[in-house]
Structure formats: C-alpha cells, structure tokens
Chain A
Amino acid sequence: MQTIAGDNSDRDAPRQLIEPAQSAKAEPTSPSPHTTAYKLARRLGAQALRMTLFLQSLRMVCRLGFAAALAVFAGEMIESGVFSWPAFAGALAGLILSSGTGYYADTQTARAEATLIGALRQRLETSLAAMPAARLATRPAGALIAGLQRHPPALAGLTISHAATQIMLALAPLAAAAAIAVVSWQAAITLLLAIPVMIGFFILLGSVVRDRARAQEVAFGRLAAQFADRIRALPTILANHALTHEHDKIERRMADYANSTMGVLKPAFLNAGIIDFFAALSIAVLAVFLGLGHLGLVHIPGFTGLMLWQSLFILIIAADFFTPFRRYAEQYHLKAEGEAAAKELDWYFAAADTANGPARFVPAGLDNFDPASLPRNGLIAISGPSGAGKSTMLRILGGIDAPLPTLPALTQIRHPIVRTGYDWISTGIYVPAGTLADAIGWRLGNPSPVAICAVAERVGLLNDNLLPGGLAARISDGGDNLSGGQRMRIGIARMLLSDRVVLADEPTAKLDPATARLVRDALEEAAKQRLVIVATHDDALIKAADRNVILRLATQDRAAA
C-alpha cells in the first residue's frame, strides 16, 4: 500500500491541507525541542522556573529534616527509652514546613504555568493579528482553533513542570545521598551505585521500546486514530449506508491496535518497574545489612555500630532517593505532548515568508489607474478570469495583504484608501451576535436608531419575513442564521451609513437576482458620491463601471508574449 502525496491541482479552491502539522506528526524521527516556540517559552518561563526549583529544593530540605527528626525520635524512644522533645518538635516542624513549602511550590508552579500560557497566547494573538489572510486560510479553522486551545498549556507544562522535574531528577537523589552520607557514606555509595545500573537498564529498555514503537508505527500507525476519523466522517458513512461495515471494521482495527499497543506498553512499564524494583531492593538490602550490623554478627563497614535512629534515617531517605525517578517517568507524556506542541506552534510564529498568495496575475489597464490620483468618486471594476487575482488585488488595495514586490505601483495605491478607512463589502462580512440593529450599526460609532431604521428599510431588511422581528430580529453567533443575501444587505446598509471609500469583493455572486439588483443599484448610487472599487465577474456591474481594470492569468500572458 502506498500513500497518496498531496497534489493540489485545484486552483481556485482554498487549500485545506494541514501541511506543517501533518508532516510534523508523520515524522518518526526523535523530536528536536529547539523550535522557535520552545525557545520563546523557555525565555518567558525562565524566572518562574527558577522560583519553582527554589521552592521544590526547599521542600526537599524540609523533608530531609523531617525524616532525620522522625528517625531520631523513633530511634531514641525505642533504643534509649527517651522521649526526645527536640526530635518530636523537629519532626512536627519539618513536616509542617515541608507541607507548607510543598503547597507553595505547587501553587507557584500552577501560577507560573498559567502566566506562561497567558504570555504565549498573547504572542500568538499578536502573531495572528499580523498574519496575512492568505496564510490563515492555509489551515482549517478547526485545526487552528484546536491548536490555540491545546498547545500553549502543553508547552507550558514542558517548560515549567517537566523542566523542574528533570532538574530535580539530578538534584534530589544527590541531596538524599548526601544526607545519608552524613550517617554512613558506605550506605550512600550503595544507593548511588544503583543509578548507573538503572540507567543501563533504561538505555536497554529504551531501545526496545523505541524499536517496538517504530514497528507499531509501521504496522499499525494508520489504525491509530481510526475511531476519531470515523466519528469525524459519521455523516458521510451514514449517507453511504456503510455504518454496519464501518462499525465492524473499526472494532476489528481497534482491537488490533490495542493488541499492538500492549506490545509497546509492556517494555515501557518495565521502565517504571525497574525503578520500583531498585527502590524495593535497596530498602530490602539496606534493611538486611543494617540489621546484621546491629546484631554485630557480621562486620560491614558503614553498617556496623550505627545507632537505631541512624538506620531508620537511612531507611526513610532510601525510599525518597527513588521518588524523583518515579516522578520523572510519570511525566513522560508531558514531555512528548509539550515537544509536539512546540513544533506545531512554530507555524503560528513563523514569519510570513510564504504568506503572499499566488502572484500569478498581471494587471492590465493600470495605465488609467494612476496611483497618485485616485478619483474622488466613480465605480472602478476589477475583472478577469477566476484565479487571475481579482480578490488579491482588492486586498492589496485595502492594505489587507502585503503588496507584491513585483508590482511596485500598487504599494503606493493603497495608501490613500487605507489612511482614510473604507467599507469592505462581501458575503463574508462579520456579523456579531445580537439584534439586527446591532449588526447594522456594528463599528459605526453608534448611529442613531432612526438612521439604522431608514437604511434597513432601504435594503429591505425591515420587512423581510425570513428574518422576522424587524430591527430586533435575533442574529446568532457569527450570523449563522443569515443567508448570503441577508448578509449582503447588512453590508450595504452599513455602507449607506458611512461615507467612506467602498471596496467590494464579488458583491453579487451567489445572490438571488433581486438582491443582486439591489446591491448593484446601491453601489452605482454610492459611486456618485465616493470611490467604489469592486472585484467582480458580474457583466452588469462591469458595464456600469466608469473604469475597468482587467486582470489576466499569468500563463495566458506568457503564452501571448
């Protein structure tokens, strides 16, 4: 079986392929965390990470103090028959202090991550605000939104929680060993000896896990997200009467995938098992050695002649010695998710290198389109075959897209329009949730209700029986309950309330004839007072224009030349 690589032969359709995201996921190579987003997160979170580390170290010290005091308390009580008040007080104090610092460390970590998420989102917002519309359209809206919701928390988890755990993995066992060394350096050495052995096992197992995971990726990778895929495609499956077939197939494939997952999980669990094994073994070994030492039957340096409290101290700390390893192993998923998120976030931060849309069009008729002196009024129509760049040119004029370097003249054209502000008209205009009056008056600086009522009447929205309620008609989020025609009428109503230059992108496409006529008339009427530029392939509108700018496909031009 082979996979079809992307062929994007369809020219006009907005491409809905997720290139960076998909390729990032597909790459089986080990992820390199040094992406733009990762570095940014590290920089933004550096100070908070230091604070987290400080508090976690403090907790560790308090915990060691508690262990020492408890060991002395129990040891003295049993061995010497003395109730040691200082040890008792010390144990209580150590316990309370370590719990308190633990609480502060936890809340500080949480706060640091929340702050970092906020800071990352702020950068993302800035980056999105500056992102050209053409680049925004290269990703499906759902994937873009999901990324913004999920990736910042994952990256924050990697840069704060996981980074702290990673550093504590180096610090905490050493601190525990140092504390034990105060009592018996031989016991400390015994524990430290476990580390290289454990690491050896990790490396061994790690390669097994990686091999199995790779084998699973090769054999079953395609079955990984089949359930999600079928849920996504459920209406299509129903439309094709394929539910029974897909249901049974999915069940089979999920079972296969579950089996193969167990194959990867078993050695992965061995990793955690090794930590557990060494933790349990070292306690057992130490207990036996220390016991032999106490009995005086065997003479082992470092284990003989100890007080009971010293043995108990070693026993308690030995358990703590392995805790950081366990915590680190538990946070494996944080690392994987965070690194994947960092990679994906790079798309949002990437410079607008490939942002400009197809620069294929060649404007003709620009000679009567003098950039320095755009007329004060009149209707200018930009026309040409689809794909020739009508909308792109309109967007450049409006300063929405960056001007193309190949067209220096246009860089100057856009200034007068952008400076004074303009009305943009298309079926895609933004309509906020609320009433019809809100929708018409949106961002127009509180026009009087009378004015709104008048323009609504003029575009036929007041007595539209498909939008009952007049000016109080409810409009849902994003104007979902509006037809294209109703949207366009709202756009025209807004235009009538302002006196600015008008840029209209395909204003009459996909409209019923009545609405199309209304839009045409309104634009022609407006052109008497102000400048109206339309990108259109509507012949009636082109005929009515005072000037025409005709664009040609670049390929046609080359063929002609």
Chain B
Amino acid sequence: MTQPNNAQSENAPTSARAPWRLAILLAVAAAASGILLTGISAWFLGAVALAGLGPAALSFNFHMPAAFVRLFALTKTLGKYGERVVGHRAALLDQVKRRAALLAAMAQAPSTRAAGWQLGHQDRLSDYIDDVEDVDYARLRVAIPALVLIAGTGVLTVVTAWLTPLALLPIVVAVGAVLLTLRLSMRDLAARGATARSTQRNGGRLLGAALASAVPLKAGDDWSTALGTAFVQFERAESERLAQRKTFAVLDMLAGLAGPLAAIGVLVAAWHTGERGTGLLIAAFLAFAWLALAEAAQGMSRIVVGHIREKAARDGLSTWTATPAHDAEPTGSPLALQTLMLTQVPHQSPDGRKLGEPLTLALHAGKATVLTGASGTGKTTLLKQIAGWIVDEHHGRYTGNGVVLLGPCRRAASHLCLHDAAILSDTVRENLFAPEASDAQCWDALAAVEMQERIATAGGLDAWISQDTLSLGEAQRLNLARAWLSTAPLLLLDEPTEHLDGAQASRILARLLSQMADRIVIYSSHHADAADDTARIALGA
C-alpha cells in the first residue's frame, strides 16, 4: 500500500496563486474606488458650488467628474462582488487541497492508532473542524481585509503628508493609539482566547466523566454537584470571551475615530496654511477619502479576531500532526503466514502501564485463538501490539514463519477489527472497504453477518448509510462483514460479539471463523465461553 502523501505535504504550496492575486487586486480596486468615489464626489460638489456662484458655471466641465463618479461607483460594486467570488473560489480550492493533505498527515500521526480516538467524539470533532475552518478562511477573513486597510491608510497618509503635513498630527495620534492598543492587548487577547478554549474543553471533559457515571452520581445525589463543576468551567470560558470582546470594543472605537479625525484634521490644516475657496477643494477630496476609509476600518476587530483564531487553530492542528510519523507500510502483497510467535511481548495497558509479566505465545493458522479476561486486562492493547499499531521494537519479538516482523510489516499483514469501529457516511459498498470484491462476494459477507435483508430493504449495496442510521448491533455486524471480506493473513477481532445477543453472536462468529479457517485468527471476548476448537489465552488483571 502506498501512502497518498506524507507529513511534509502540509508545508508544500497548497494554494493556487493566480486566483488569490486576482482577489487581492479586485479587493484593492474596490476599496480604492470606494475611497475615490467619496473623495471625488465631495470635490465635485465643492467645485460646482464655487463655480455656480460666479460666471464660471457655464464653462464648467461637468461631464468629466460626473463620468469619474459613475466609473468609481461601478468599479466599487463590481470589484467587491468579484473579490467575494474570486476569493471564495480560491479559498475553496485551497480548502480541498489543504484538507486532503491534512487527512493524510493525520493518518500518519501515532495518536490515530493509540487508544481512544478523541476526534471520534462530537465535541472534540467540532472543535477540530472549527480550527480547520479558521485556517481555511484566514486569507479571506484576515489577510485581504488587513492588506486593504493597511494599504489604504498608507496611501492616504503619504498623500496627507504631501498636501497637508500638519494634519499628520491627529492621524499619527489616532493610528498610533490603535497600534499601541493592538500591541499592548494582543498577547492578552491571545492568552484569553487560549484560556477560554482550554477551560471550555476542561468543562467538556468533566461533563463527559459525569455523564459516564450519571446513574451512580444520581444515586448519591451528586449529579447536580458534578454538573455544577463542569458548568463553572463553561462560565469561566465565557467571562474570558467577554473580556476579549471588551478589548475589541476599544479597538473598534479607536479605529472608528481615526478616519473622521483625519478628515477634520486635513480641513483644519489646509485652512491653517491659508488655503481658501478652490484651494480647499483638494483638501476636501482628501478629507472625504479619509471618511470613506473609516468605513473599511469598522471591520478592525473582526480582522484581529480572525488573526488570533488562525494562530490558535494552527497550534491546535499541529498537536495532531507534529508528532513523528510512522514508517510507511511496505507495499506488495503480504506473505502467507502460517505461524506467528510472540516472544516476551509486554503485557500493558493502553497508556503503557505494565499489567503483568511479558507474554510469550504461539499462534497458528487454522486454529483460532481467543483472548479472555475482564475489562482493563489489556486485551485490546495486545491486539493492537500484534497489529503493529502500538510499536515498541525494544520489547518483545514477533516472528512470522520464522522471520522477525517489525511494526510496519505486521500492519500490512493484519486486519484489525476494532470493537468501536465507525460507519462512514457513504454507501454500503464503500463501507465494506473491499473495492475488489464482486457484488456477490459483498452479499455473501452481508449474509454471513445476517445483514442481508436489512441492506436489501434499505436499497442494496448502493444505499447510503451513516453512523446514526445503524444501531450499535448493526454497525458491529457490518464491521464483521468487513473482516469477512478481508484477505489479510492475520485477523485480529476485538470483542466481535459485542452488542450482539447470544445466539446470533455465536452463529456469526462460527461463520466468520470457518471463513478464516486457513488464516491466523485472534479474537478477544470478556465472556468465558468460547468455541470448542479454539486455543484460549486468559489475561488476568
């Protein structure tokens, strides 16, 4: 099997440059037109008002500025629309590439194969998707508006310095105040954001622990206390967010002051330098341009919010992908295994605590092995160790047909049937993960797990299913159908009979074991009763 991408692809250029350039161009054109429209309108009104007072009224070239007004009005509208369309298209294109790369990178992360997939839980998954979206749209929400705002302020400041340098005083004060506030509060804002995130997550964890023990907690009248401790965390997160929003209000206020102050400043400065009448028209142009820029500055806090969220999101995502990647699995068809010897394999818990003496055992094709033991005795962990999902090359040796098999080899050779396997939102056929299997083979597999009728009435192999449309028992049976279709020489089934009732469980298990009769099969069960012709390994706590 080849890996579609490796972790480095995250750093590879995933964005299409041309559409982004166009989007920036359109954004700048729209903003410039907006500023020029207001400016030229004011200049025009002043000019005609002065001309109208005297005989110049008749000779005034009316058409030129009027044409400019119309041109800017159109450019502003079209530019804005174009910016939105082009920008979103670019963002969506990037999104597809980024997310595909992210999926590949996350598949490489060891945490994916470790115990308890955090992103299998809705609350953590929602946070994660938020992070992904914050990064996806960062350019659109942060980079482009910030660029336009900075460019607009820069150009108008230069023009002001040239025409009415005195007016720089209020501008420098106002812009300086904005920048100073940003500088002073940025760290605090980011810290509050991080605290809000972690407290909210902490509250979610506490609530999760309480929900897992809801009945015992209710029995002891401690349910509401336990809820209280979780909700206090949510409340703390909210107060951090409120503090953030108060700072944003200050920022918006200062940013909103800058443009109008500049406008007044420009007029006063021009007057002060002795300009009168038509001499003031250029100043009026500039003053109203500043007023128009103030409109763009109203989104100041949104840009800052977007920036902070993007940073936090990148940090959040890197925790999933920053860990060193697994080795790629060897390609080519896996060897046919007859025996698998485990020598001194650590008996451990999911978090690596030692649960007992190291295990040494022999597994043979043709005779299934059942792992028994109470919950918490390391059955799942042992299966994952054998499957090469938990790899410790220094402790324990795995010998298949006399050859030492390292983690990647075992991963390639095994089919691990997880007890909490997920159902994809996809068709039944895709959910069977057997692209090479014929329809007949798929139906055989479904019949073996007694899902044939259920799927047939639902619309056959092309019926769309999801986690929510199947009950736990049905999901488990479909999961077993995947194992049925697997051609791997080493089959590892974790609690295959979970969520199934007794008689049906034994029927399905018997069929599965006979289907896999020529291969090495190990399955775990917390029931002591197992099929007769199986070897039994009991894991004690």
Contacts and interface: CB of A to CB of B under 8 A. Distances in A.
B21 interface: no
A18 B476 CA distance: 18
Interface stretch (A9-17, A39-47, A184-192, A446-454): A9-17
Contacts of B3: 243-244
Contacts of A133: 214-215, 218
B231 A77 contact: no
Contacts, number: 467
Given A99-B257, A149-B234, A428-B216, A485 B541 contact: yes
B126 A150 contact: yes
Nearest to A466: B355
Contact of B468 (A6, A100, A141, A477): A6
Interface stretch (B155-163, B221-229, B395-403, B516-524): B221-229
Interface of A is mostly: helix
Interface residues of B, number: 172
B57 interface: yes
B353 interface: yes
Given A106-B249, A150-B126, A515-B541, A222 B464 contact: yes
A424 B217 CA distance: 9
21 contacts: A2-B458, A4-B459, A13-B499, A66-B260, A79-B46, A121-B234, A125-B231, A129-B227, A137-B214, A142-B123, A146-B125, A281-B77, A283-B69, A290-B45, A307-B49, A308-B46, A315-B42, A426-B215, A428-B212, A478-B212, A512-B541
A1 B38 contact: no
A503 B220 CA distance: 11
Contacts of B120: 142, 232-233, 235
Contact of B463 (A2, A235, A400): A2
Contact of B471 (A8, A234, A241): A8
B231 A121 contact: yes
A118 B236 CA distance: 10
A106 B248 contact: yes
A312 to B, nearest CB: 6
Contact of A258 (B92, B423, B459, B482): B92
Contacts of B74: 280
A145 B208 contact: yes
Contacts of B211: 136, 141, 144-145
Contacts of B526: 510
A269 B213 contact: no
B532 interface: no
A434 interface: no
Given A1-B427, A443-B220, A228 B264 contact: no
A143 interface: yes
A234 B227 CA distance: 31
Contacts of A78: 46, 49-50, 277, 280-281, 284
Contacts of B99: 227, 250, 254
Contact of B73 (A149, A284, A514): A284
Nearest to B260: A95
Contacts of B189: none
Interface stretch (A107-115, A211-219, A549-557): A107-115
B51 to A, nearest CB: 6
A235 B377 contact: no
A300 interface: no
A472 interface: no
Given A228-B129, A280-B37, A443-B220, A308 B45 contact: yes
Contact of B377 (A103, A225, A231, A483): A483
B112 interface: yes
B359 to A, nearest CB: 15
Given A230-B103, A400-B219, A484-B374, A292 B62 contact: yes
A512 to B, nearest CB: 4
